Structure 1
Amino acid sequence: MEIDAIIIGAGACGLMCAVQAGFLGKKVIVLEKNSKPGAKILISGGGRCNFTNQWATTEQFISANPHFLKSAFNQWTADDTINFFETYGIVGKEKTLGQLFPDHKNAKDVVEVFTSLCEQMEQEVWCNIEVKDIEQTNNGFVVNYAIGDKVKAISAAKVVVASGGLPIPKMGATDFALRFARNNGLKIIETAPALVPLTITGKDEDWYAQLSGNSVFCEVSNDEISFEENILFTHWGLSGPAILQISSYWRRGEVFNINLLPHQNILELIENERKTNGKVLLSTLLNRLYAKKFTDALNKFLPLTKTVADLSKAEMELIYQTIHEFKVKPAGDKGYDKAEVMRGGIDTDELSSKTLECKKIPGLYFGGECMDVTGWLGGYNFQWAWASGFVIAQNL
């Protein structure tokens, strides 16, 4: 069978690569470990699929070399993603902060765009395939794979590794790309779960657990960055958009800050209350700002039963620190089972930024999550997957 390339992985990057290669008249075969393509796309956004972010730039990505992304994002922009999906009947609707979801459609429809185009262009997607290894030959590459008990091989001049990262093993996540890279002397930036809930243990564990299910709009920050979104208290610690965002910048043992009232100053609110009605209890004032259950929980730290007029200078300072500088030191994270993406991966220095071809192994390309490119929550990682798939297809 004459084919131009083998693509390992029928996720967002692999499917986009197959379709874009088809547009250029190139024949590819996609090898997928799962029983159907696009497994991770199908569960994204609770099945709704936040397929891009209209404000995506290189600024929302973590990498040892953030400049690496510029070439790919110049070749395939967020507007290109929006136009591509609109062409096939999927119109983006902004939910918040530039996040685009399909209007009146869902993740299944996103996958259907790719599977239909692959079928039309006779780009084959083989499922239930476990890739074992890639061997270099004089004419290109041989990919050894297992289907059931049988081990087979397929050859092509070029190979694309778009097999994803380590998160969500039950969805077929595999370390194949990282293993292959290590075995071939490619540098790996240390990997860790990212966009992941954080756990609290020890003396504060019960305090967080009692608030499970409560959500508060906050600013979460460390020395490097800050995010304003909701946090969600859970039985085991913290989750919610702001926590997932800061988790990508958090390292075990570090403390970060939560501002529980980012757009107001609690001391000013107390002073204003003192002028009008000093007999108001601190708890009454806080109940105007938060759910009662959350206010009640703050009793552990604050003199809720005191009137605002009776608060001492030391108590005012304590209130400010608790509301605006609430310190959190997580014990750890919920691991790859609950992480949305992987931080770290194959060092971008090993690849051409213009083509994503491996410098040490010509004809071999890496794309998507297996690389040291990690986006924020909100469609950014999909944008990287589409862009890297497009870029690789242009060079097969």
Structure 2
Amino acid sequence: MTANLTKQTHFDAIIIGAGACGLMCAVQAGFLGKSVLILEKNDRAGAKILISGGGRCNYTNLHTSYKQFLSQNEHFCRSALAQWTVEDSISFFEAYGIEGKEKTLGQLFPVSDKARDVVNVFTSLCTDFGQEIWYNTEVVKLEQQDGGFSISYKQYDTEENIFAAKVVVASGGLPIQKLGATDLGMRIARSFGMKVTATSPALVPLTITGKDQPWYEKLSGNSIFSRVWNDRASFEENILFTHWGLSGPAILQISSYWKPGEHIFIDLLPGQNIADLIAAERVQNGKKMLLAYLSGLFTRKFAEALSDYLPAEKNLASLTNAELDALEMLIHEFKVKPAGTKGYDKAEVMTGGVDTNELSSKTLESKKVQGLFFGGECVDVTGWLGGYNFQWAWASGFVIAQNL
């Protein structure tokens, strides 16, 4: 059944999406005495929050600055991050019973290790403020009408229209389809003549195919602390070998900066020099076999895999300068040409989205369409791994609420 009339509502704004940005926006609007309705495609709020950090939710990062974000305009996120800081996030969650504990590299998790606790803060506050959330509600189309907007939505088998004076698009990005991810935010932007920056999976594992794939497959499960880099970025964290390629924090990080057809490089002993280490070992034990020596630096399995490219059965004393140079190159500049990524369903976020040139950096309102706001992942602002994307979501939700 389709209704032709647009229902009038008492809400100050309608928010599309009950993810991190949408929930924060609704709550902050409530603090300001503004009434909002959230339209959520899923049957629950915060679906992506609930699976983040292995269900523990790395909800911010102590080191957040604009430098940890990718965008065609690297300075765009500065205003929002200044209006809602990491300290604001920490204080907000502490006020509602969530104490943070720091893990590696500034990552902050709830002491309870339960992402559900983070979602409950928002849903409880929405209830307290009388902010409504309509679940199982899919937005079909958004059009301007009478100084506001007409939203066409499907609820079960019924399609209806509802009026909104202002609309917040916080519908997320393309990852992860099983959680209801769509390109809705970008379709809405395009429908109003706004530009959209090309998207790609980010914070995503990389695949290896062809003749090199069996080498990676036999190392599946091996994790090594490494430095991974290309000509745009560099990260020091663990890498993980898998039967289809490479994963682990450092790989996820560099994937946001990788483009198809390019190489990445891996330093398997960051902060050390294999030639210097072998020179020192030669003095003590020049008869030690190279394989045995490498087995002391890495796992035996990984050392044996490296032996495919090295004279592993030679002793250290007999290694030639050319062999040492080749070893140094292999250990410190291990060259990889990924075939691709594992795609949006294995990506944590995406790069690209609604072009930041189309939005006010101070309010996140469309420059072309008054009363239309975009926040969170659907905007061309992508954070590093480790809580940065949540900080952007909280900040953008807060900023939008101030301007509804």
Match of 2:371 in 1: 363
1:66 is paired with a residue of what secondary structure?
A: coil
For residues 190 and 15 of structure 2, the distance between their equivalents in structure 1, rounded to whole angstroms, comes to: 19
> Per-residue displacement from partner, 1:182-240 (whole Å, max 9, x unpaired)?
22211111100000000001110000000001100000000111000000000100000
Q: Which amino acid aligns with 2:140?
A: K
2:25 is paired with a residue of what secondary structure?
A: helix
Q: Which of 317, 334, 340 is the matching residue for 2:342?
A: 334
For residues 368 and 28 of structure 1, the distance between their equivalents in structure 2, rounded to whole angstroms, comes to: 17
For residues 268 and 351 of structure 1, the distance between their equivalents in structure 2, rounded to whole angstroms, comes to: 53
Q: Which of 227, 230, 252 is the matching residue for 1:222?
A: 230
1:309 lines up with 2:309 in the alignment: no
Match of 1:24 in 2: 32
Match of 1:373 in 2: 381
What are the within-5 Å matches in structure 2 for residues 1-396 of structure 1? Answer: 1-396=9-404
Does 288-297 or 242-251 show the bigger shift? 288-297
In percent, how many aligned pairs have the same letter? Answer: 66
For residues 98 and 222 of structure 2, the distance between their equivalents in structure 1, rounded to whole angstroms, comes to: 34
Deviation of the 1:153 alpha carbon = 1.5
Does 148-157 or 218-227 show the bigger shift? 148-157
Unaligned runs of 5+ in 1: none
Deviation of the 1:269 alpha carbon = 0.6
For residues 29 and 276 of structure 1, the distance between their equivalents in structure 2, rounded to whole angstroms, comes to: 73
For residues 93 and 300 of structure 2, the distance between their equivalents in structure 1, rounded to whole angstroms, comes to: 44
For residues 294 and 260 of structure 1, the distance between their equivalents in structure 2, rounded to whole angstroms, comes to: 11
1:144 is paired with a residue of what secondary structure?
A: strand
Deviation of the 1:343 alpha carbon = 0.5
Q: Which amino acid aligns with 2:193?
A: G
Deviation of the 1:62 alpha carbon = 0.2
Asked whether the equivalents of residues 90 and 105 of structure 1 are also in contact (C-alpha less than 8 Å), the reply is no
Q: Which amino acid aligns with 1:151?
A: E
1:132 is paired with a residue of what secondary structure?
A: strand
For residues 128 and 206 of structure 2, the distance between their equivalents in structure 1, rounded to whole angstroms, comes to: 44
Q: Which amino acid aligns with 2:248?
A: G
> Per-residue displacement from partner, 1:6-57 (whole Å, max 9, x unpaired)?
0000000000000000000000000000000000000000100000001100
The Cα RMSD (Å) is 0.7
TM-score normalized by the length of structure 1: 0.99
Q: Which amino acid aligns with 2:148?
A: G
> Per-residue displacement from partner, 1:238-291 (whole Å, max 9, x unpaired)?
000000000000000001110000021000010001111100111121111111
For residues 337 and 259 of structure 1, the distance between their equivalents in structure 2, rounded to whole angstroms, comes to: 29
Asked whether the equivalents of residues 48 and 102 of structure 1 are also in contact (C-alpha less than 8 Å), the reply is yes
TM-score normalized by the length of structure 2: 0.97
Asked whether the equivalents of residues 218 and 259 of structure 1 are also in contact (C-alpha less than 8 Å), the reply is yes
For residues 224 and 158 of structure 1, the distance between their equivalents in structure 2, rounded to whole angstroms, comes to: 39
For residues 164 and 343 of structure 1, the distance between their equivalents in structure 2, rounded to whole angstroms, comes to: 12
Runs of 4+ in 1 over 6 A off after TM superposition: none
For residues 255 and 174 of structure 1, the distance between their equivalents in structure 2, rounded to whole angstroms, comes to: 30
Unaligned runs of 5+ in 2: 1-8
Residue-pair matches, total? 396
1:118 is paired with a residue of what secondary structure?
A: helix
1:288 is paired with a residue of what secondary structure?
A: helix
> Per-residue displacement from partner, 1:71-121 (whole Å, max 9, x unpaired)?
101100111101100000111111100000001241000000000000011
> Per-residue displacement from partner, 1:109-146 (whole Å, max 9, x unpaired)?
00000000000110001100000111111231111100
